[in-house]
């Protein structure tokens, strides 16, 4: 099977100094440990390279690790201003800022650079007029970045696992957080206890199983089948406020709409299935809705596609 990871040998070389080595180690970490998609790792590589290129001009020489530690808010704002002068859109600048924050968090965790001034730089404010379900790229970006603001690796993997479960299986946030470790999916389906103690079985994609398994391998609290699957930092059952917090932070950092919430991932699950040709009644069963009208409110499909399906399928449309 072909390797679908990002090809680290193909990214441009930016030198052999400590910063360049840290940059390449960062990409390796994204690629091999975070297991991000090649597209996402490529975006990180471009953003960090552009930032280091700016610093070379800004400082008059390629930056050292000590230069990164000494950067002021003004320096970071100058970089954002330069992006704006180049015609960069706010959403693009917000994404680039998120990439640089992730790079600096990596450097801090490795004990290479400590600089909290970047956290004081506000991301460009993005006006949004989008529907409640997320787009497929936004949903993927939200999941891949769910652990970016965490300093502990197991917490980062927990966030990714939770968001992957919500989007991959269409669970309510309360349903996901009520799961115990012994209910972690191991096969192609899992049992979920929904509203009114109504039980349903939902298919489980390999990516969901893998994300949860990766989180449990890192969790210091794993090993109790009767204990909560998703735990807070102190070991108790994770609450909904803790689940919403990383998404609130990511909305600002990534320029995602205000409607990007844990519940929006369930909504997006239904909408994307229907848009891909899924059967509405099957989606109703997957979501655990008592009535089809509730499922219809959860799904939004392009009107032109619906009209085309109507014209194709209705018996009187051909007459």
CA–CA dist 211, 143 (Å, integer): 11
Note if 289 is an active site residue.
Answer: yes
Instruction: Give me the torsion for CA of 267, 197, 289, 159, rounded to 10°.
Output: 10
Tokens of 31: 């690629």
Alpha carbon distances (Å) from 248 to 88, 255, 261: 24, 11, 8
Alpha carbon distances (Å) from 198 to 126, 175, 177, 263, 281: 40, 11, 16, 19, 17
Strand residue runs (E) in 121-232: 189-193, 199-203
Note if 272 is an active site residue.
Answer: no
Q: Given the residues 5, 11, 172, 244, select the one marked as catalytic.
A: 172
Q: Given the residues 108, 200, 248, 263, select the one marked as catalytic.
A: 263
Note if 314 is an active site residue.
Answer: no
Note if 172 is an active site residue.
Answer: yes
Largest CA distance in the chain: 76
Contact indicator for 168, 208 with CB cutoff of 8 Å: yes
Q: Given the residues 34, 93, 266, 272, select the one marked as catalytic.
A: 266
CA–CA dist 178, 212 (Å, integer): 15
CA–CA dist 171, 176 (Å, integer): 6
Note if 57 is an active site residue.
Answer: no
Contacts of 94 (CB under 8 A, 6+ apart): 123, 124, 126, 252, 253, 254, 255
CA–CA dist 278, 130 (Å, integer): 23
Report the DSSP beta bridge partners of residue 189. 203
Note if 128 is an active site residue.
Answer: no
Alpha carbon distances (Å) from 202 to 31, 85, 170, 269: 30, 49, 9, 12
| Kind of pairing between the strands at 189-193 and 199-203 | antiparallel
Q: Given the residues 110, 195, 281, 297, select the one marked as catalytic.
A: 195
**Catalytic positions:** 172, 195, 263, 266, 289, 298
């Amino acid at each position: 099977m072909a390797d679908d990871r990002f090809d680290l040998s193909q990214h441009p070389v930016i030198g052999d100094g400590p910063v360049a080595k840290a940059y390449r180690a960062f990409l390796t970490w994204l690629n091999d440990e975070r297991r991000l998609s090649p597209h996402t790792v490529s975006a990180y590589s471009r953003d960090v390279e552009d930032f280091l290129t700016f610093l070379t001009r800004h400082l008059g020489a390629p930056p050292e690790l000590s230069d990164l530690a000494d950067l002021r808010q003004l320096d970071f704002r100058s970089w954002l201003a330069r992006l704006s002068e180049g015609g960069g859109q706010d959403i693009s600048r917000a994404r680039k800022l998120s990439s640089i924050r992730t790079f600096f968090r990596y450097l801090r965790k490795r004990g290479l650079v400590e600089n909290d001034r970047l956290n004081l730089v506000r991301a460009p404010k993005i006006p949004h007029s989008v529907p409640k379900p997320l787009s497929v790229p936004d949903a993927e970006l939200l999941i891949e970045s769910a652990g970016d603001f965490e300093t502990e690796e197991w917490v980062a993997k927990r966030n990714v696992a939770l968001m992957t479960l919500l989007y991959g299986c269409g669970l309510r946030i309360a349903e996901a957080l009520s799961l115990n470790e012994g209910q972690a999916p191991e096969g192609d389906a899992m049992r979920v206890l929904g509203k009114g103690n109504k039980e349903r079985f939902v298919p489980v994609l390999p990516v969901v199983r893998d994300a949860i398994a990766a989180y449990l391998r890192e969790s210091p609290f794993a090993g109790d089948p009767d204990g909560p699957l998703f735990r807070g930092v102190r070991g108790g059952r994770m609450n909904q406020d803790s689940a919403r917090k990383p998404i609130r932070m990511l909305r600002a950092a990534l320029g995602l709409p205000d409607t990007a919430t844990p519940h929006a991932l369930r909504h997006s699950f239904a909408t994307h299935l229907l848009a891909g040709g899924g059967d509405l009644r099957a989606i109703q069963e997957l979501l655990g809705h008592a009535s089809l009208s509730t499922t219809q409110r959860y799904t939004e499909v392009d009107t032109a596609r619906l009209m085309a399906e109507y014209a194709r399928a209705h018996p009187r449309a051909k007459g």
